[in-house]
Amino acid sequence: MSRLWLVRHGPTHAKGIVGWTDLPADLSDTAALARLNAHLPQVPVISSDLSRAVATADALAPRPRLPHDPALRELNFGRWEMRSYPEIEAESPELARAFWDPPGSVRAPGGESWDEMVARVSPALHRIAAARAETIVVAHFGVIVAAIQLAGRMDPVEATGHRIENLSVTCLDLGPHPAVHGINHIP
């Protein structure tokens, strides 16, 4: 059994959907970062390779840093990247609804489906969990929700119904007895 402390990266302030677009995190809220640092255990940190996650993970120093893992990237929204949901829905209403309701096998054009993202993220999370008793994982909304889906044995609709705020902590166990201990905790 391994405990994962999943932290959503700092805010990007983007107005559109952000997946693999590499935007920086706004880490100017030093009080929020101090509370986050105080809340988390002194264990190794791994992050997605996107700069918003890397910078957030680096802000959790002086914890040991593990190499960035591209498997922990957000859902790839393809041609929907950086566009607003109303704009996407106006262009392709049926595809937009099918993509989100329920999340599953429908792909964003040039991107990936929810199921494909979960299939990419799941082995990475299990590999991280198998390597040590506790790890902090700095990642993205989709990755954290996928972890909740896995550990909570939920369907995608139930899992995606959770709010995951920037700089929040979701705590769960992966292994033979997966469990979710807390979702979207703001220290």
* pTM attached to this predicted model: 0.96
Residuewise pLDDT in 10s, the chain (187 residues): 699 999 999 999 999 999 999 999 999 999 999 999 999 999 999 999 999 999 999 999 899 999 999 999 999 999 999 999 999 999 999 999 999 999 999 999 999 999 999 999 999 999 999 999 999 999 999 999 999 999 999 999 999 999 999 999 999 999 889 999 999 999 9
Enumerate the β-bridge partners of residue 6: 137, 170
Tokens standing for 63?
Answer: 């914890």
Residue 88 belongs to what H/E stretch?
helix 85-91
Q: What is the DSSP string of 156-175?
A: HHHHHTS---TT-EEEEEES
Domains in the chain, CATH or no CATH each = 2-185 (3.40.50.1240)
Rounded distance between C-alpha atoms, residue 133 and residue 135, angstroms: 7
